Chains A and B, each alone.
Chain A
């Protein structure tokens, strides 16, 4: 199905603040965004940037002050839309008196599945998220990471067309993060649309077709991770080891990690640097290009936002 799976137009959320609620605090300001069908879209930003607010608005947990959004062609106010979407809340918490199998069965009952279908889905999903052996333990005894897995299982239990995940890697160990990444990639292979929020930029770079960067309630950039950052090579990095004592002048510019050294030079200086290092007895291990990362792009935006905020504060005083 071509076209946008998620369409957001001028979505704004303001909360009353102050003692008499006369002031307003803007959590999200005029968000315009589209997530195409079948793509994995990462929503990145620092804590309090408006990521969860956007997701809660999409899920109908809070209501917009202005603007609108549609998921799979239906307005977000339409409850029937939820038949085709899955949602993982941030730091999910479920009924702690139920077991993982019971809570999944409970959620499955809101869809039109037969008892046999429900049982099969619950078993399959528990296996998929690695909770097969813990399925009969009440959730009150689960760790944060295990609850996150239950949350992921309930989000995809009904085979939704679009999946919205709020910080899906939160609370997971490296193995769990890897498993979640695999599930997201599997959803993509199955043609599902995935929107997930994260502040772990490496995950976004690894998984996303496109990312949206949100800072201070405003969307600051949307695009493929490699297009968002300046793709021009910023220099070359030489990784080398020293076989004996040496006093080459270049060595003072290198960074030592264990027995290895890293040296950044410009493209023009590369060959002369290699010659100097070899003359000094260095063993060259690798030479690679240095490019701007999504993290640098992200940090630039955050710093700019903070600088702007403090400028407003100063002028306000």
Chain B
């Protein structure tokens, strides 16, 4: 695992030096503008508007980084052939892959934590105090991070067997489909043919369920988020990421580099 850590830390360093964290400036400006504007146009619901806007921004910015940099994690190393010298060291391909995943998760964890802190500061500015119920915002941020980890794993998987452009399209497409998995589960299977019903059932379980991570409405209204959901989402993310990364490792371990 030491070698995984070495790759992860270098991936983090790469993200920092490639100015990935500059998005924080954009987020800070957005939240400052929102704090000023929201106070003038919304009466009584400033805090929920700020929370919704802040969490949406954290999610969108994180998703953009997860998809675009997630796809580039491996493909860039293959295209630029920086991977050649690295794989000549005593490091296994799956260790490299896991390190890359860990490095970007670490980057996004730092990024998301910084944005969450910014959001809390704006909430403090707007509400003049923070309450115990505001902890739901932190849980919502944690769910966003879990979601981003899953998106990175998918981006890594796709980048192992297709071009960067297609990998971006597949990852983004699967994310959008994953937002509607609950609708797939609610389809009236009794009016379908047995084959279609079975397929729908399997798809509903196999596709990543991104809807479960969305607790923005609860957080915006200061409602508590059940502990069972926190546990469920954590376990779901860990297991799903592990499976996706295992498949990615198998594909990547058999790949002929150019």
Q: 1/0 per position for B92-119, CB-CB distance to A under 8 A?
A: 1000000000000000000000000000
Most buried by B among A60, A89, A92: A89
Q: How many A-B residue pairs have CB under 8 A?
A: 66
A82 touches which of B13, B81, B82, B90 (Cβ 8 Å): B90
Closest to A92 in B: B85
A35 is an interface residue with CB less than 8 A from chain B? no
With contact pairs A79-B91, A86-B88, A110-B91 given, residues A62 and B82 touching in the complex (Cβ less than 8 Å): no
In the bound complex, residues from chain B placing their C-beta under 8 Å from that of A85 are: 88
* Cβ–Cβ contact B84 & A60, under 8 A: no
B1 shortest CB reach to chain A, Å: 13
* Cβ–Cβ contact A62 & B256, under 8 A: yes
In the bound complex, residues from chain A placing their C-beta under 8 Å from that of B257 are: 56, 61-62
In the bound assembly, the distance between CA atoms of A232 and B152 in angstroms comes to 66
In the bound complex, residues from chain A placing their C-beta under 8 Å from that of B3 are: 110
Contact segment of A93-101, A176-184, A218-226, A244-252: A93-101
In the bound complex, residues from chain B placing their C-beta under 8 Å from that of A60 are: 87
* Cβ–Cβ contact B90 & A94, under 8 A: no
In the bound complex, residues from chain A placing their C-beta under 8 Å from that of B14 are: 95, 97
B128 is an interface residue with CB less than 8 A from chain A? no
In the bound assembly, the distance between CA atoms of A94 and B83 in angstroms comes to 8
* Cβ–Cβ contact B85 & A151, under 8 A: yes
A93 shortest CB reach to chain B, Å: 5
B41 shortest CB reach to chain A, Å: 43
B82 touches which of A87, A88, A95, A110 (Cβ 8 Å): A95
Closest to B14 in A: A97
A271 is an interface residue with CB less than 8 A from chain B? no
A55 shortest CB reach to chain B, Å: 10
In the bound assembly, the distance between CA atoms of A107 and B88 in angstroms comes to 10
* Cβ–Cβ contact B89 & A107, under 8 A: yes
In the bound assembly, the distance between CA atoms of A82 and B3 in angstroms comes to 14
A226 shortest CB reach to chain B, Å: 32
Please give the residue numbers on chain B whose beta carbons come within 8 Å of chain A beta carbons, in ascending order: 3, 6, 10, 13-14, 17-18, 80-82, 84-92, 254, 256-257
The list of the 3 closest CB pairs from A to B, nearest first, reads A87-B88, A110-B89, A97-B17
Q: Could you show 25 A-B contacts with beta carbons less than 8 Å apart?
A: A59-B84, A59-B87, A61-B84, A61-B257, A82-B88, A82-B91, A85-B88, A87-B84, A87-B88, A89-B81, A89-B84, A91-B81, A92-B84, A93-B80, A94-B85, A95-B10, A97-B13, A97-B14, A98-B13, A106-B6, A107-B86, A109-B6, A110-B3, A110-B91, A154-B85
